[in-house]
Amino acid sequence: MNFWYKVKQMVEPKQEVKAINVNSNFNDWPDNSTGGDPLLSNEEVFSVITRLSNMLSSLPIHLYKNYSEVNNETSSLLSVEANESISAFQLFNITETARNTDGNGYIFIERDKYGSPVRLYPLPPKNVSVMRDTDNDTIWYRVDYNQFHFLIFNTEMIHVKHTSPNGVYVGISPLDVLRDSLKFQDAVEDFSLGEMKKKDKFIIQYDRSMDEPKIQSFLQQFRDLALKNGGAIIQQAGFKVERYASSFQPTDLNTTEALARTRIANAFNVPLSFLNDGQAKATTNPEHVMTQFVQMTLIPIVRQYESEFNRKLLTRSQRMQGYYFKFNINGLLRGDTAARTQFYQMMIRNGIATPNELRKLEDLPVSNEPNADKLWFSGDLYPLNLAEQRNTLKGGGTNEENQSVSDDQ
């Protein structure tokens, strides 16, 4: 065992392990398990924010130059590793969560001495302030985070936000918009829980002429019967017992929850079915819901990120050369297997996409077959460079011409 272990250690590449004294300057990460934040106390809010954050974080993003994919150190910050501590997925997840809770998400850009981005750091919104220079009307950001205090120009901070009032550069938090609605929902739930915890109540009527010992004896027997018989009682002569009914109805709680889900969906601009609303799921087509979500919710969010990346991670010269960042959201619109198959056949038969381009959409390896990189038209099927000859032959051609076309293929 020891021999093979030593051989394994010699053959396998060693990974550098960074270790420092535990008594160094370390702080515990803040505990998020308690608090009155709606993200921590409301299931619907937590669900929709988690879904939006995970959806954006899972989208592939690439750097392109004139529609061709390019890989370099800048693009790897958004696709692999944002800095030494977090991945690109975590960068998007943290930023999008901050945008949906505080209304603003901030990413600080660290550059090398040549001005190229080398690291990206998500910052807590509470530690960033948006400033405006009244002399030239430019936007600056002030950062007060632990021991760091500095003021930077707007090109050094990626800022994504929810909608903001006219003339204000800070986004509105959806949770602030929903605060009164969530308070009302909490009040109704607390009232309902209190009503459900209450024990059964009874109204007992008896003749005032009865003596006290008989009354106390009946009351004691009544308590014992109610506790030991699941609420069933025996009514004796001279006593009249009525159950005191609570005014609480379970349908009241259901109505309040349905109204809260509708308001949450409106505030975050997502389909109601995303909050697992049973009625909305039963009356909508899943493919249509996803199309609506992508077009009305996701594309504006993605476009905001792309605009920030293109402006602040690329130089003016790179943008003029045709460089740009772009998320790939086509996968969300491809539908089920049958719909994708029909779509791909249409793309190939009309000379819109090559087989290899469609293989990339399905995360399949690119084929080495030369014809897999050619555009085809339905004829059925020929490379586009033979389209003119094919059309000529359809109108009439000689056997020699037919043989020539076959040889070219």
What global pTM score does this model have? Answer: 0.71
Paired sense of beta strands 157-161 and 104-111, if any: antiparallel
> Whose structure tokens read 């977090």?
86
When comparing pLDDT for 183 and 189, which is higher? 183
pLDDT at residue 34, as a whole number? 44
Mean pLDDT of 118-135: 94
Q: What letter would DSSP give residue 235?
A: P
The token duo for 227 is 């506790």
pLDDT for residue 376 is more than 70: yes
Instruction: Spell out the residues 6+ positions from residue 156 whose beta carbon is closer than 8 angstroms to its own.
Output: 108, 109, 111, 141, 312
Tell me: the pLDDT tens digits for 5-50? Answer: 554 455 454 444 444 454 556 566 555 544 456 666 788 899 999 9
According to DSSP, the residues that pair with 69 across neighbouring strands are 64
Q: Which tens digit of pLDDT belongs to each residue from 174-187?
A: 999 988 887 877 77
Quote the Cα angle for 22-24-27, to 5°.
90
Q: Give the pLDDT of residue 17.
A: 46
Residue 83 DSSP label = S
Number of H helices, E strands in the chain: 16, 13
Which two structure tokens, joined as six digits, stand for 406? 């076959």
Cis amide prior to 381 (ω within 30 degrees): yes
Q: Is the pLDDT of residue 274 over 50?
A: yes
pLDDT at 120 over 80: yes
Predicted pLDDT of residue 233 = 59
Q: DSSP secondary structure string, 173-213?
A: PHHHHHHHHHHHHHHHHHHHHHHHHSPPEEEEEE-TTS-HH
- pLDDT per residue as tens digits for the range 147-158: 889 999 999 999
Residue that wins the pLDDT comparison between 357 and 257:
357
